[in-house]
Amino acid sequence: MNQHQDKLTVSVILLAGKILLASGAEVSRVEDTMRRIAICMGYYNSQGYVINVFINFSLSEEHDTRILRINKNITNLLKIFQVNAISRKLASNQLSIDQAYILLKNIDRTNLSIPLWKKVSAAGLISLSFLYLQGGTWSDAVTTIVAGATGFLIVEYMQSKSLTMFIPEFVGSFVLGTIVIFGSSLFKVNDMFGPAMIASVMPIVPGVLITTAIQDLFGRHMLMFTAKFLEALVIAFAIGSGIAIAYLIF
């Protein structure tokens, strides 16, 4: 392989790994995809190491090691699916390495996220669904929808403006907790707002983060499991703190 081909292959591998990791894929998927792309290009001794903030990769012992930092991790299953499709086509010789690089660049540049209003509407419906599972009543429906949608909106908006962890979930849970408390007193005589509170908080619970952490544990990626699990723990603490403070104040 010539030097240009080496650089192009590394660029494709790192870009694919970056998109997967930044979109919430588990480490085992990222490392496996990178290794398979390297193998299909004739590099059978590639080495890669991935954690939640950077990717370290080398085509072989004779090649230089490149490091790529990941600034933000979100959940985007569509991008994960598209990168997987490209890697499979590349491995089956349906795509050239140049075509794969162009497609990956387009995926990286394109904003494939769902519009915020759709996600907020879905958050309200999710909260209503969990209200049914928790045995809530119709008198809690309006409060639950409004609280779930508002809390999710606050978290999404604050996360888009800052990379700070803990604060968006804390503020969002405090606001939704306040809405549930006042809504329950407005529509009901008693103070049994437990089902509505649980249902409203579900859209901001880090479920995908917990799931991928467990997958990394099964894949023996202990460092990644620890990082994700601690992140989920901090978010859960922020959610609980926000609701507890709303309950103490109101």
18, 55 Cβ separation under 8 angstroms: yes
> Tell me, what's the pLDDT at 112?
66
- For the stretch 117-131, pLDDT in tens is 999 999 999 999 999
**pLDDT class for 191, splitting at 50, 70, 90?**
low
Domain ranges of the chain: 3-109, 116-249
pTM score, whole prediction = 0.81
> Tell me, what's the pLDDT at 189?
47
pLDDT at 174 over 60: yes
